Structure formats: structure tokens, C-alpha cells
Amino acid sequence: DVKVTQSSRYLVKRTGEKVFLECVQDMDHENMFWYRQDPGLGLRLIYFSYDVKMKEKGDIPEGYSVSREKKERFSLILESASTNQTSMYLCASKTPRGLETQYFGPGTRLLVL
């Protein structure tokens, strides 16, 4: 079974803080993704990575950065958290070629005060 874990289920941060969200997968997948999910807006792609140190912007990268130093770990960084970044953050990992499917971690619900 694919296992994707995220460092925190719930986080409360203050405006202006630097926030790190970590995601780890145990299946040696090359592709990993960060989404945020908001009511009425669905899942929106922030960044994805297709290999170590390789990344591409998604649809809403502003205010975020990412880091992929090891294949199993993909981190999302909020450089200076703002209240409009309060959201559910979901990490996903994609299986290799063939039956390419995304599997999601449990999510981190972030509240920025």
C-alpha cells in the first residue's frame, strides 16, 4: 500500500511566521504534489516536483516555496504566513508510469491568525 504522511494534522500560526509543512512517501515515487483545498474552490495545485531538486509551479504558487532534497520528502514553505493562507493543505504522490494515480496524505489544516 502507498503511504503518504504529513507532519501535522492541525497547525495554528501567526501572521508573518514562516511555516513548514512536510510530506513523506514510502514508495520511491518521483512525482509529488502540494495542493490546497478551500470550500467552493476545490483542489488547487500549488507546486509539484518530478525529481529531487526539481520543481514546477502549479496554479497558485504565490506566497509559497518548496523544497525536495530527498526523493521521499517534499516540503511546502510559507515564507510569511497570511490569513488568506488558512486552508487545508494536501500532499500527494504519484505512481510511476503505467497506472499513474495520485495518492493523498491525510492533510494539514492550517489556521493563520
Tell me whether residue 13 or residue 104 sits nearer to another protein (CB atom). 104
CB-based contacts of 13: which residues, under 8 Å, 6+ apart? 19, 78, 81, 110, 111, 112, 113
Tell me whether residue 105 or residue 112 sits nearer to another protein (CB atom). 105
What is the grid cell recorded at 87? 486552508
Is-contact 83 21, C-beta < 8 A?
A: no
Tell me whether residue 53 or residue 99 sits nearer to another protein (CB atom). 99
Shortest reach from residue 112's CB to another protein, in Å: 19
Shortest reach from residue 104's CB to another protein, in Å: 4
What is the grid cell recorded at 28? 520511491
Q: 3-class SS at 43?
A: strand
The residues binding another protein (CB under 8 A) are 31, 33, 40-43, 45, 48, 50, 56, 58, 90, 94, 99-107, 109
Shortest reach from residue 16's CB to another protein, in Å: 27
